[in-house]
A and B are shown apart, each in its own frame.
Chain A
Amino acid sequence: MPVNCCVKVKPSVKPEFDVIIVGSGPAGTSVAYPLVKAGLKVLMVDAQASIGSSVLPTRPFLSARANDAHQWKWMIGDNFHALNQLDAVSPKLKTPTHAHVFEGFSAGNRIATDNFIGVGSLATGGLSNAWGCGVATLGASDLAGLPIDHAEMQASYETVARRIGISGRIDDDLSSYFGLDEWSQPPLPLDALHQRLLDHYARRRSAFPEQGFRLGRSRVAVLSQPLDARKACDLSGNCLWGCHNQALYSASQELQKLKQYPGFQHVQDFLVEDLQRQDGSWAVTDHRSSRRFCGTRLLLAAGTLASTRLALKGLNHSAPIPLLSSPTAAFLLWLPTMLGTPRAPAFGLGQLSFALQLSSSATAFGSTFSTTGLPMTEFVSRLPLSKRHSIELLKNLLSACVVGNLFLPGHLSHNTAALRPDGSLSINGHVHPELPGLMKTAETKLRRIYWKMGALLMPMSFTVGRPGADIHYAGTLPMHATPRIGQTDRLGEVAGLPGVHVVDGACLPRLTEKSHTLTLMANADRIARSLATTIGHQKA
């Protein structure tokens, strides 16, 4: 088209990019692949300033603990990071190696919380730098009534699963629940305690289905076989502190691969504070450096909380909207017959998982973990004994214990998020009135079931987490076939903001009890495939 064919009031600047992706976590990187593969010009921005210099354990956990005089540098941190986070809900939030992952998120993205644990990341790779690696697919029944095509989702699940590397393929009672085995690597070895639990379960297998209980291997985004430059898990037990093999998936591992596509560009230390509309395209500005980029479409993948604020601000929508999170609890299991088991190298994330039907509408999902790679300080403070005696007790007890967690579906949360006049996002945490009863049921059922497997759910150990402690956030701007303001269409495009798509957890209309990371990645992939075609047509 000749440039001078028509008179324009203002010279139009052609956007530099077809797509700007805000955020480089699981959603951001997943949405990037189909776009760069289609030859589009894609800019990815994230707000990582510097990752500092964190020390990783250089040898397997047990050997490092016994011999490394500098272990405090990765356990506490040169700057005593862990001691400033003594009240944090998860040991991950205290680990100095992860300090840069969580740092500055709430301030940078202006998130204020009340009775809610609001965690996010400015780092390249986002929260996946410190996640539990739990993965699962949503089945056709989970997607029922949603504007998401099951077949499209399946294709995206496969693409993402093969790309990130998943282990746990085995024919067990959770195979269909996870729906991942087709694309997975074999499972990682179990430690002695989990093997014992699984043996007991197998022996009395017929007794469990009527309880609504199914046990199986955890499916995790951790390699049991090498993939690309990443090595397989060698059971070092440093999962919490930092894996030197890169066996644990982190979206930050994708950047090298994405940069090989000529249309891809990655800019760090760029904090998007708001979105500006400009001649039918969108611009983002980093106020600290006054850098500015312009793109035809804007994909928000900054994490549910941050993306929600950006979209609401763009809409100037201040009415409260629901925010889904998975109510969570933790517990300790003791296997009395395993007393005196020596500490042995073990995988530090979920080894066995369970699904437990609690009511017609609520299923609980959880996993159990070895206690070896965890700081014992976490347990000492919870015992009703003096610390000196707690240490002595746990020294003999913990090697015969596993810790478990549990998640319930998001409809049992009752949180709200609202844009304040000053542009910050205010989050209020509440739970559904049914939740305390369901948690009680879960505790009773689990105690009975695990007792049949030879494990005692320790009294007083079942602890219900505060709203948001799960860090599974979703559903603020749900996808809808005919979206209203405050909703998004089936491609995450925000109603009222044409060209702006929400592609992370914020657009998932439903949060089940299952880990939702893989689902939001697959959904991002699904959206990007459609967009690549649409934009391709538009350009042509």
Chain B
Amino acid sequence: MKLLITGATGYIGQRLSALATARGYEVICATRHPGPAPYAWLPYDLRGPAPECPAGTQALIHLAADTSTGADNDADDEVNAALALIRCAQQGSARFIFISSQTAEPTAPSVYGRTKWRIEQHVLAAGGTVIRPGQVYGGPERGLFGLLSGLVRRSPFIPILWPAPCVQPIHVDDLAASILAVVERDDIRAEILNLGAVQPIAFDRFLGAIAAHRVRAVRLPIPLPVALLRLLRRLLGHSLGAKLGLERIFSLVHLPPMDSERSLQKLGVQLRPLAHGMHRSGRGQRRGLLQEATVLLNYLLKRPPQRSLVSRYVRALERGGKTRPVISSRLLMSWPILLALLDTPGVLGKPDGQALAWRLQVALAIAEASPQGAQVFLGVQQSRSPVATLVALGLTAIKALTWKLAALLGRPFARQLLRESEAQREA
């Protein structure tokens, strides 16, 4: 199973190649420069002739695009290059999959969108598949996502464009999985698939998600009327505006919403929530589990746990198919000792406390089986006078009783801690 991928070293191409290789495909990069180790390389430049399609290629996935300039004669070259690639695929009797854009429109404001639309027509005529991704995000900070992340990281503000343009985000790995789903489906031919969140979200909310979950910083929202940007473009002129990325912003403003629900259903792809996808791991739940691990282990060990213990806890849970945290209260994260309010038979014995009871047992076993745990569980191996030990025991007993009393009195509060976790999970 061979896949010939143009633009394989780009933002999407890189993730697609990795996923395809993991699924057992042989990936051939049709790129200007050789790709990294496991992939075969076929030198290819958008401006040059199409490569020879290697025998047995299942699909040619065309990701390469010229995003640098906006001149129309360059666009012709790009359309011709695509035509040559379509012929190349036909010669090798490979499927042709073209990654277009949500902005593809015959009357799109940007050259980029118009070019994509022109290529789409040729692809459809040749029986190929067109994929129009919405706002691609997640993974490494590259492409438009890289640009936006960089802006959010540097600027203390988030512009709230007015009127607010909407985007339909899709995680780069979800897109890669969707492309492979198309490769594996023989019944999808000569059609356009719209891939992105079903419900469009305001662009500033998207930037806000970058700030909250990726950059993890507070950014001040500043209203920015689109009319002001128009004025700026007029003042700067077209080419300078394009260089500053104004073109891209305008293409956003004019973005028509797309119906992605049917395409997603057809492919059987479920997109991850934006908040999860924004994390570096691409899985926000894992972060939730890591936080839970830190709380539980810190509570048991009375000090911040070693990183290895935290990740071991998460792996143990993930192995058991448990990917959602049960503890996500911010209060507990700041004061893990508050878990003593929940660590009572009154809470753990109830049906909604059983998940926590089990996780405490897991954390207990993992905490103990470490040098850090040996310190806490076995103590230093030095002789101590019985009196001193008795005093220590007495102190522990007093502490334990105090907390027991606190747990009794604070039961409504304790239940609140659990419920808070639940509410955060649902959000």
Contacts and interface: CB of A to CB of B under 8 A. Distances in A.
Interface of A: 62, 65-69, 71-72, 75-76, 79-80, 82-84, 86, 336-344, 372, 375-377, 380-381, 384-397, 399-400
- A-B pairs, 5 with minimum CB distance: A389-B400, A340-B384, A75-B369, A339-B386, A72-B369
Interface in B368-427: 368-371, 374-379, 381-386, 388-390, 392-393, 396-397, 399-400, 403-404, 407
Band of interface residues on B = 35 or more
B358 interface: yes
Contacts of B320: 80, 83-84
A391 B376 contact: yes
Contact of B340 (A72, A337, A380, A388): A388
B370 A69 contact: yes
A328 to B, nearest CB: 23
B383 A340 contact: yes
Nearest to A390: B400
Contact of B378 (A72, A376, A380, A386): A376
Interface of B: 299-300, 302, 308, 312, 315-316, 319-320, 337, 339-340, 343-345, 358, 360-362, 364-366, 368-371, 374-379, 381-386, 388-390, 392-393, 396-397, 399-400, 403-404, 407
Contacts of A67: 371
Contacts of B369: 71-72, 75-76, 375
Contact of B377 (A69, A342, A395): A395
B389 A396 contact: yes
Contacts of A68: 371
Contacts of A395: 376-379
B403 A389 contact: yes
Contacts of A394: 377
Contacts of A389: 340, 396, 399-400, 403
Contact of A376 (B308, B362, B377): B377
Contacts of B381: 62, 66, 342-344
A72 B384 contact: no
A396 B343 contact: no
B48 to A, nearest CB: 51
Nearest to A341: B383
Contact of B302 (A80, A336, A386, A388): A388
Contacts of B379: 343, 395-396, 399
A386 B376 contact: no
Nearest to B309: A72
A82 B378 contact: no
B293 to A, nearest CB: 13
Contacts of B370: 69, 71-72
13 contacts: A71-B371, A72-B366, A75-B368, A83-B316, A340-B389, A341-B383, A380-B364, A388-B337, A389-B340, A391-B300, A393-B400, A396-B389, A397-B393
Nearest to A394: B377
Contacts of A393: 393, 396-397, 400
Nearest to A397: B393
Nearest to B361: A86
A395 B378 CA distance: 5
A76 B374 CA distance: 14
Contacts of B390: 339
Contacts, number: 135
A354 B381 CA distance: 30
B364 A387 contact: yes
A336 B377 CA distance: 19
Q: Chain A CB within 10 Å — which of B302, B377, B388 has the most?
A: B377
A76 B366 contact: yes
A342 B397 contact: no
Contact of A388 (B300, B316, B345, B385): B300
Given A386-B344, A395-B379, A339 B389 contact: yes
A388 B299 CA distance: 6
B302 A83 contact: no
B114 to A, nearest CB: 56
A82 B369 CA distance: 11
Given A79-B319, A395-B377, A86 B358 contact: yes
Nearest to A344: B381
Contacts of A386: 340, 343-344, 400, 403-404, 407
A79 B377 CA distance: 23
A68 B385 CA distance: 29
A390 B397 CA distance: 9
Given A69-B308, A340-B384, A387-B343, A392 B396 contact: yes
Contacts of A397: 393
Contacts of B358: 86
Q: Chain A CB within 10 Å — which of B312, B364, B399 has the most?
A: B364
B375 to A, nearest CB: 8
A375 B365 contact: yes
B396 to A, nearest CB: 5
A397 B377 CA distance: 11
A399 B308 CA distance: 28
Given A76-B369, A339-B386, A393-B396, A66 B344 contact: no
A375 B385 CA distance: 25
Contacts of B386: 336-340
B186 to A, nearest CB: 38
A116 to B, nearest CB: 24
Nearest to A86: B361
A399 to B, nearest CB: 7
A111 B251 CA distance: 69
A388 B381 CA distance: 20
Contact of A391 (B365, B377, B403, B407): B377
Contact of B312 (A72, A79, A392): A72
B362 A83 contact: yes
A441 to B, nearest CB: 29
Contacts of A82: 365
A396 B371 contact: no
A94 to B, nearest CB: 9
Q: Chain A CB within 10 Å — which of B312, B320, B368 has the most?
A: B368
A381 B358 CA distance: 11
A195 to B, nearest CB: 16
B281 to A, nearest CB: 21
Q: Chain B CB within 10 Å — which of A372, A386, A397 has the most?
A: A386
Contacts of A388: 299-300, 302, 337, 339-340, 343
Q: Chain B CB within 10 Å — which of A80, A344, A375, A394 has the most?
A: A80
A69 B371 contact: yes
Contacts of A66: 371, 374-375, 378, 381
A75 B312 CA distance: 13
Nearest to A375: B368
A386 B401 CA distance: 10
Contacts of A71: 369-371, 374
A387 to B, nearest CB: 6
B344 A83 contact: no
